[in-house]
Amino acid sequence: MKEVKVRLTLTEEMLGTATANEQIYTDYIGSNVPDAPSLAEEVEALGADAVEEKAMTVFPKDTDGCPIMWDYQVKGFFKDTCGALKRVSGTRSEKLKAFKKEIDGLIFPEPRKIRINVNGEIGNCQRPLRAQTAQGERIALANSETVPAGSTIEFKVVLLKDDHEKLLKEWLDYGRYKGIGQWRNSGKGRFEVEYLDD
């Protein structure tokens, strides 16, 4: 078993991913994971102010109001990144079999609530969402809370297999191309990684 401590420094703003509508959030998680022990904790982290902005995605907040990410969001970044890098010849990810099961069962970001050290003011990003549907093109306006470039995120990753460390570094290095969080395909949430020694 190995622990790797990292600091991500955002080079582009990062967008919040949690809906500010507490009822939608509760219904969605409740329908997908009815026995989720963390449902109350996650809904509580949205905060009362967030419920006022029902059409906005926000960052969950810790008890002191500091924005956070959940550990599973980092794990989701690992899966998304590994899936992309599997298509690149010569990468370590290319050789990883059943990568989603490996990540789910053997790689654990900690702590559960990962604090975002905001560099500046929390802002917002509005952008159009377009979709081709059977009824024709649909356009909606999306609005998300943002943390600015220069903000940092520190956490550790527990690896149950030591040889996963090189994979982890490959995924984190990929963050300079495709970020973490919402709307990452547009470049939001890109970061540089620093490995912290004890």
**What domains lie within the chain, and their CATH numbers?**
2-17+59-196 (3.30.70), 21-52 (no CATH)
pTM summary value: 0.78
Whole-number pLDDT of residue 140: 74
> How confident is the prediction for the chain on average, in pLDDT?
83
The whole-angstrom separation of Cα 16 and Cα 70 is 11
Please state which of the ranges 14-18, 119-123, 134-138, 171-175 shows the lowest mean pLDDT.
Answer: 14-18
2 pairs with which residues across the strands?
159
The mean pLDDT value for 47-63 works out to 66
pLDDT of residue 29 exceeding 70, the answer is no
126 pairs with which residues across the strands?
143
The whole-angstrom separation of Cα 39 and Cα 89 is 40
76-89 confidence digits (pLDDT tens)? 999 999 999 999 99
Please state which of the ranges 4-8, 35-39, 57-61, 150-154 shows the lowest mean pLDDT.
Answer: 35-39
Whole-number pLDDT of residue 52: 40
Instruction: Answer whether 47's CB lies under 8 Å from 79's CB.
Output: no
Whole-number pLDDT of residue 164: 95
Phi, psi of 180 (to 5 degrees): -115, 145
117-142 confidence digits (pLDDT tens)? 999 999 888 877 777 888 888 877 77
Q: Which is more confident, 189 or 57?
A: 189
The whole-angstrom separation of Cα 53 and Cα 27 is 17
Identify the three-state secondary structure at position 104: helix
Who's near 144: CB < 8 A, 6+ residues apart? 15, 16, 17, 56, 57, 58, 124, 125, 182, 183
Q: What percent of the chain has pLDDT over 70?
A: 80
